[in-house]
Amino acid sequence: MRIGSGLRAAGLALALFWTAGCGGSGGTGPSTNGLYVRFRVDGAQVEYTSQASLLAAFGQAGNQRSMTASGFDAASNFSLTVFDGSVITAKTYSGYDINVGLGVAVGALLVYEDPGGTVFSAGSGTIDHSVEILELTSSIVRGRFTGTLKAAGQQDRMLTHGEFRVQRVN
């Protein structure tokens, strides 16, 4: 009997170690690896800390440059994308428009799917949102964001105190 109890205790300890080491999934505590996406929606805190979801990817098609950062958990998800006609750098991207002279989109998009499955966004047709990239290295992207989120048939939602520190994948 003592061997069985010891194995169960070791299994429980291993399970606790594994979940703590993975950084959680949407918890409100600090991430064990320093990566996060967090913000407030109408005053309610949302935070993603699962390292598998905290990524930034960069893209280019002709003159169009972009960077998308994301975070998610089992109940909701968030992404932000910045667009420019030149290399994405540490600066503020706001609004969203087409630069006809360059033939590219410029600005930022924010998208949040809440736990109820409603998708809210700030982007085309809105101007009161911004993404500020504060740090951009070969391995990390860090910044801040804010804006008014909209969804058809829903009241607007205020996104404030947005900040992210995610792993750069390319």
- Tokens, residue 79: 């992404």
Report CA torsion sign: 124, 128, 131, 132: positive
pLDDT, tens only, 32-77: 479 999 999 999 999 999 999 999 999 999 999 999 999 999 999 9
Tell me if 3 is assigned to some domain: no
Question: Does residue 13 lie within any of the structural domains?
Answer: no
Q: Tell me whether residue 164 is in a domain.
A: yes
Q: What is the mean pLDDT of the chain?
A: 84
* C-beta separation of 33 from 22 below 8 A: no
Q: In the chain, how many domains are there?
A: 1
The pLDDT value given to residue 127: 72
Q: Is residue 5 part of a domain?
A: no
Residue 161 domain-assigned?
A: yes
Q: Averaged over 164-168, what is the pLDDT?
A: 98
Q: Is residue 19 part of a domain?
A: no
CA distance 145 to 107: 12
| Cβ neighbours around 119 below 10 Å, total | 13
pTM of the entire structure?
0.79
Is 16 domain-assigned?
no
Domain that holds residue 85: 24-168
